[in-house]
Structure 1
Amino acid sequence: MTPLLEVQNLSKSYPVGRKGLFGKRMMQVLREVSLSVQPGEVLGLVGESGSGKSTIGKAVLRLIEADSGTVRFDGQDLSTISHADLRRLRKDMQIIFQDPYASLDPRKTIRAVLSEALDTHKLHMGTARADRLTELMTMVGLSPAFLDRRPHEFSGGQRQRIGIARALAVEPKFIVCDEAVSALDVSIQAQVLNLLADLRAMTGISLLFISHDLSVVRYISDRVMVLYLGKVMEVGPADQIHFAPRHPYTAALISAEPSLKHESNRIRLTGEIPSPLTPPSGCVFRSRCPYALPACAETVPPLRDMGEGRLKACIRDDIL
């Protein structure tokens, strides 16, 4: 099957601080990341803050420009198409933002918020507009009677449902969910996750689901990609990643989850994630890895195929 989204060797750096004698210092946040998303698939991206998850989501949508690498969506290379073609393609590529409070214009009614994207792409014009808005509110579990209210009249969970309705309004093929439930209470998180799962089953939409919480990612994803300091550490089916991790960093993320089980076999990370300005040599995870060898400081581990859809970036095969 041809992937709906295919990313190859994506890299991105940002200038930091004032320009000096040799120019500005560059902070590399993505290091040759590759991924793919099949039609109807949910790929989860997980990692600590600073791992580059949101940068991938924005680069995929060309909300920011990557330094190098290619992004192909539905067979088209996004780096070479015209602005007019990219504008048309944006109908098929949408985003749900993290903050349900900041992502909605407080001056507009929900009717105006949902109509904006429809106006941009000239969809459901005339009398069909009211039917489409009613359908969208119903799809996300809100009453159409709320259409003429403004965002401040809703709870955080309701606002995120409105954000989901806005993303669905133009009937996209693919949505980036950028920490879409992290700002919500746990009980509301579950409701929104169930809603996304139901909408995915209903519409066949593909999702790139970004979160720092591996248990949340596992709940909704078919496959999971684990990132650390801009590098891919491990990729595999969601349940296999959770119950049988192959990389020490993945195992450490699982160990950090609340559990009533005996804790003697937990992997605990010490220290903070290193600065992207001064990453460790060799394997970027080695400075916090309990299994690191001297060779880990000298070798950048490639992402190796372990079979059964599993990939990992680690020189050791004698652990986990």
Structure 2
Amino acid sequence: MKKHLTLENGPLLEVKNLCKSYPVARKGLFGSRRMTVLRDVSLSLGFGEVLGLVGESGSGKSTIGRTILNLAKADTGSVRFDGNELVGADAGTLRRLRKDMQIIFQDPYASLDPRKSVRATLSEALDTHGLHTGAAREPRLRELLNLVGLSPDFLDRKPHQFSGGQRQRIGIARALAVEPRFIVADEAVSALDVSIQAQILNLIADLREKTGVSLLFISHDLSVVRFISDRVVVLYLGRVMESGPADAVHFSPGHPYTAALVSAEPSLHHQKTRVALSGEIPSPLSPPSGCVFRTRCPFALPGCADKVPELREFSPGRWKACIRDDISEGRP
């Protein structure tokens, strides 16, 4: 199913040192302060590749997706899409590239206008970019529903007439309607039942093979991310903890946080060594000094509080932000 693509031909998407914060109201005479959600995030995505982005709620995953698409403005850093800088780009550049960058939202019901039929929803996307006009419209609409496994007879139905899985298929069809080169799938299966999740994951994998679209697949579930992705980036409190090939990261985690995510997954096949985390993810308003994960890390050392660990390559194609060389035996 996976192509295991590399970045040999250069990245389609390259994010460097991305930072994003939001103002937070504060009572009293001193106005507001800012909450930093992303801290120097860097990642890249190859042509036709699926990059998984995983982390707990509050890690900043969705903010990365929204900032890449310019739905939220970056504070600093760089986002280059096929050589075009998006941070600070003018409206004309963003309008020209918008067709190539689409999103699949988490909630398939909230993302669809309940007043509009499937035909109207898909046509709106096509009209925005002047695609498949006139006599070419109807064949394209029917093709899109066939592509996502729905009957073309559903074109005149409205969202309330569909199940959650069917609504998400419509959302996927809408994203594919303009033939994008890159899609952000933001928790695209988390609102669905487990059995339906598998169907949608298989659909996305199949569409990736058919269309060659590149995907940033965002999820809190590492097992879901591993299934669909070529490579994985692990995020914690707005910082990248680890990145590398999906299977390698899952079966041989290099960072204590990744190891904790893996050990928390249920398994029917073998007994896992449990890496327990204490407490909750800290508030972005007051992150820990040094390594942001150190307050929950079972292998933390005194030096972890002193400086932010650099993301370094610890084996070919694998990176982690940790001062430890080995967590496999929990030794200092």
Deviation at 1:277, TM superposition (A): 0.7
Aligned counterparts of 1:23 and 1:153: Cα–Cα separation in 2? 47
Question: What amino acid is the match of 2:158?
Answer: R
Match of 2:241, SS state, is strand
Match of 2:189, SS state, is coil
Moved more, 9-18 or 155-164: 9-18
User: What residue number does 1:167 align with?
Assistant: 175
Deviation at 1:20, TM superposition (A): 4.6
User: What residue number does 2:234 align with?
Assistant: 226
Asked if the contact 2:263/2:272 (under 8 Å) is kept, the reply is no
Deviation at 1:79, TM superposition (A): 2.2
**Which residue of the other structure, out of 87, 95, 98, is the alignment partner of 1:87?**
95
Alignment of structure 1 residues 54-65 onto 2, 5 Å: 54-65=62-73
Aligned counterparts of 1:99 and 1:265: Cα–Cα separation in 2? 34
Gaps of 5+ in 1: none
How many residue pairs get aligned? The number is 320
Do structure 1's residue 68 and structure 2's residue 80 form an aligned pair?
no
Moved more, 261-270 or 214-223: 261-270
Deviations 1:238-289 (A, max 9, x none): 0000000000000000011012466572101111111111111110000000
Match of 1:288, SS state, is coil
**Which residue of the other structure, out of 7, 20, 24, is the alignment partner of 1:12?**
20
User: What residue number does 2:11 align with?
Assistant: 3
User: What residue number does 2:250 align with?
Assistant: 242
Match of 2:291, SS state, is coil
User: What residue number does 1:258 align with?
Assistant: 266
Asked if the contact 1:117/1:169 (under 8 Å) is kept, the reply is yes
User: What residue number does 2:325 align with?
Assistant: 317
User: What residue number does 2:275 align with?
Assistant: 267
Do structure 1's residue 44 and structure 2's residue 57 form an aligned pair?
no
Question: What amino acid is the match of 1:286?
Answer: R
Aligned counterparts of 1:223 and 1:235: Cα–Cα separation in 2? 7
Deviation at 1:21, TM superposition (A): 3.9
**Which residue of the other structure, out of 145, 163, 168, is the alignment partner of 1:155?**
163
Do structure 1's residue 134 and structure 2's residue 142 form an aligned pair?
yes
Question: What amino acid is the match of 1:193?
Answer: L
Aligned counterparts of 1:84 and 1:78: Cα–Cα separation in 2? 11
Question: What amino acid is the match of 2:160?
Answer: H
Deviations 1:124-181 (A, max 9, x none): 0000000000100000000000000000000000000000000000000000000000
Identity rate of aligned residues, in percent? Answer: 75
Match of 1:4, SS state, is strand
Asked if the contact 1:175/1:205 (under 8 Å) is kept, the reply is yes
**Which residue of the other structure, out of 82, 87, 99, is the alignment partner of 2:107?**
99
Match of 1:306, SS state, is strand
Moved more, 53-62 or 85-94: 85-94
Question: What amino acid is the match of 2:274?
Answer: R
Do structure 1's residue 283 and structure 2's residue 291 form an aligned pair?
yes
Question: What amino acid is the match of 1:302?
Answer: E
**Which residue of the other structure, out of 165, 171, 186, is the alignment partner of 1:178?**
186
Aligned counterparts of 2:131 and 2:236: Cα–Cα separation in 1? 41
Aligned counterparts of 2:299 and 2:270: Cα–Cα separation in 1? 21
What is the TM-score with the length of structure 1 in the denominator?
A: 0.98
Aligned counterparts of 2:249 and 2:115: Cα–Cα separation in 1? 44
Deviation at 1:81, TM superposition (A): 3.0
Asked if the contact 1:19/1:25 (under 8 Å) is kept, the reply is no
User: What residue number does 1:216 align with?
Assistant: 224
Deviation at 1:236, TM superposition (A): 0.4
Asked if the contact 2:233/2:244 (under 8 Å) is kept, the reply is yes
RMSD between superposed Cα atoms in Å: 1.1
Deviation at 1:319, TM superposition (A): 1.9
Against the structure 1 CA distance between its residues 10 and 205, is the aligned structure 2 distance closer, same or farther, given a 3 Å change threshold?
same
Match of 1:286, SS state, is coil
Aligned counterparts of 1:84 and 1:19: Cα–Cα separation in 2? 40
Question: What amino acid is the match of 2:262?
Answer: I
Deviations 1:162-210 (A, max 9, x none): 0000000000000000000000000000000000000000010000000
Aligned counterparts of 1:245 and 1:71: Cα–Cα separation in 2? 28
